[in-house]
Structure formats: structure tokens, C-alpha cells
Amino acid sequence: VNLLVVALVAAAFAASVRGRRLASGAWLAAAATVKVIPGLLVLDPLVRRDWRALAGGVVAAGVLLGVVPAVVWGPARSVELNKTMAGVVLAPALSSGGDRARAEELHAATATDSQSVRAAVQAWFYPDRDARP
């Protein structure tokens, strides 16, 4: 999945450099629908006030999060699945609400094998894995 996300973000930047702002926003939205974190890159066209890129992102997100799932699973089931994803993945990360069943596995620094800089520094400061906060 990470290779796909990197390819989509690279396509967004390539389109932006070529002046294809609408396509740039669409590629960025595609990356954000696969993984949540690339959605933070929407700040770039927002800060630059690139309304065309934002429009491309909104249209692509609507198609990828609304139309495609509705075609595959039907409108009612796609709404149900999107609500479940928001409640299980997004809500625990943004607040203390939501379904906490997967919160530890998805959001705790010690729950998964991470190669992030933050995880590496934490492992360095706390070498005993069982006592790591």
C-alpha cells in the first residue's frame, strides 16, 4: 500500500509542476483515500489558494469515497462502511470517542513495528520493550 501511496503523491506533485492543478488535486485525493495521512497534504493547495487543485481533490474524493463504493456495494451499504471506518479508525485518533477496539493497535506507538523517526527515538530512550510508555 505504501508504494501505491508514494506513487499517487508523486503523480500529484508531477501534475502540479506541469501546471495540471485539477489533476494534481485528484491524485492527492486518491492518495488520501488509500491512507489518511496524505490528506494532510491538502494544506499545500489550501495555503497556496489553489482552488482548482482543491476542486479536483473534492471531486476525486467524492468519486472514490462515494460513487465507487455505491456502485460496488450499493448506496446504503457504502454509507454504513464509511461510517464504520470513520468510527473505528478516525474517531479514536481525533478524540476519546469512537470504537476503541482497534485504537491501541492503530494508534499506540508501541503496538506495531514502526520505522518512523518518532518510534526509533522512543526505542532508543526506552530500550526495554515491555516497559516502553
For 19-50, the pLDDT digits (tens) are 998 999 899 889 988 887 777 788 888 888 88
92-101 core/surface letters (b: 16 or more CB in 10 A; e: else): beeeeebeee
Secondary structure of residue 69 in the 3-state scheme:
helix
pLDDT tens per residue across span 96-116: 666 666 666 666 655 556 666
pTM of full prediction above 0.85? no
